[in-house]
Structure 1
Amino acid sequence: MYPKGRMSHHFREMCEGEYLAVKGPQGRFNYKPGQVRAFGMIAGGTGITPMFQLSRAILENPKDKTSVHLIYANTTLEDILLKEELDAFASKFPNRFKVYYVLSQVGLHPTDSAWKGGVGHVSKEMIQDYCPPPALDIQILRCGPPGMNKAMEAHLNALGYTSPMQFEF
């Protein structure tokens, strides 16, 4: 539950046994193995969902040689969804899957002292360091809160990623 999350508010107000209609996903992204040489992925919070599904499909297909470079931003260490699974991908496929975690609030938990990931918000420099550089066989996918998506689009444009190289879920 996020304190300012739109859905969190609805879930908090619900009582056991009540129903909530859900639809989606929105947007169309059809992946074919080998479609690009590499994906850069920038996810925030629950925006990891499509990134995880696509990464798993790529990595579990032995014929697919696509590499994945994920930047995953959250508020705190406890907010990182699917961390064990993502770390397992990085361990099992070290040449094809890289993940870089970014936290906007570090130091709130005793385990934070060992934090080695990024701090603050995803920056243009982080994208340069952890995503593949612009090329015709590269695509950058992004999924996160609206403000983050807008900021990432501006960073990507400034770094030379053209519209066809970008996709927002």
Structure 2
Amino acid sequence: MSCRGKDQNGDDVVKPYTPTTLDSDLGYFELIIKMYPQGRMSHHFREMQEGDYLAVKGPKGRFKYQPGQVRAFGMLAGGTGITPMFQVARAILENPKDKTNIHLIYANVAYEDILLKEELDELTSRYPNRMSVYYVLNQPPEGWDGGVGFISKEMIQVHCPAPAEDIKILRCGPPPMNKAMAAHLQALGYISEMQFQF
């Protein structure tokens, strides 16, 4: 959905966000918002007080998930690109009739940048045979046992389902990451029908 607000100069700003709630969460929606010091929409959210109104438009989007649509999803997320992945994962795992498996690779700069970590870890512990998460950090802390650097072709080969007609790779992240992931996926044999970019 799109949210509209005012930046620090009083100019209108519109930015898209993916709710982390599902259609079954009636009467409210939740957004994950990363606050940037110079962010135009961040300024609006910083200024908001409880009880204020927020102009929103939507829902919108090109991705329509149907239960059992694929055998497995590979998900490649960077930073705030986790929000559509989290929403899809919840929709799959909270539907007892849906047997789709989820293989998520989630990249960030530092450990403290990992959004929704508790919620993701809870999903993997509740559904250990259905969901896996591989965290990748560019600046890992001492003793880190996850991935280091950027998502590589080798990480995709190890942690995502192999190319097949009944799998799909979803990706969402900053533009340089999306470009790199498209190249990796093509090199690994994932044709365009097996991919979707949010």
TM bracket, shorter-chain basis: 0.7 to 0.9
Query: Residue 115 and residue 24 in structure 1: after superposition, are their counterparts in 2 closer, same or farther (change >3 A)?
Result: farther
1:68 aligns to what SS in structure 2? strand
Residue 90 of structure 1: aligned partner:
124
Match of 2:98 among 60, 64, 80: 64
> Does residue 84 of structure 2 align to residue 53 of structure 1?
no
Aligned to 2:153: 124
Q: What does residue range 103-114 of structure 1 map to in structure 2 within 5 Å? A: 103-106=137-140, 112-114=141-143
Letter in 2 for 1:99: V
Range that drifts further, 10-19 or 120-129: 10-19
State percent identity of aligned pairs: 70
The AA in structure 1 aligned to 2:192 is S
Which residue pairs with 2:42 in the alignment?
11
Query: Greater RCO between the two (CA within 8 Å, min separation 6)?
Result: 1
Evaluate the alpha carbon distance shift between residue 38 and residue 125 of structure 1 in structure 2; reply closer, same or farther with a 3 A threshold.
same
Change (3 A) 1:83 1:74: same
- 1:132 Cα deviation after fit: 0.3
Q: CA deviation at 1:11?
A: 2.1
Gaps of 5+ in 1: 107-111
2:74 counterpart residue number: 40
Q: Which amino acid aligns with 1:63?
A: K
Are 1:160 and 2:160 matched, yes or no? no
- Give the Å deviation of 1:105: 1.2
Q: Name whichever structure is richer in helix by fraction.
A: 1
Relative to structure 1, is the Cα distance of residues 58 and 137 closer, same or farther in structure 2, using a 3 angstrom cutoff? same
1:19-70 CA deviation, whole Å, 9 max, x = no partner? Answer: 8755566641111111000000000011000100000010011111000000
TM-fit CA distance, 1:114: 2.8
Segments of 5+ residues of structure 2 without an aligned counterpart are 1-34
Q: Which has the larger radius of gyration?
A: 2
How far the C-alpha of 1:113 sits from its partner, in A, is: 1.7
Superposed CA RMSD in Å reads: 2.0
Cα distance in 2 for partners of 1:77, 1:2 equals: 17
SS at structure 1 position matched to 2:64: coil
* TM-score normalized by the length of structure 2: 0.74
TM-score for both structures, normalised by structure 1: 0.87
How much does 1:12 deviate?
4.0
3-state SS of the aligned residue for 2:80? Answer: helix
Matched residue count: 161
Q: Distance in 2 between matches of 1:25 and 1:155?
A: 31
**Residue 123 of structure 1: CA displacement?**
0.5
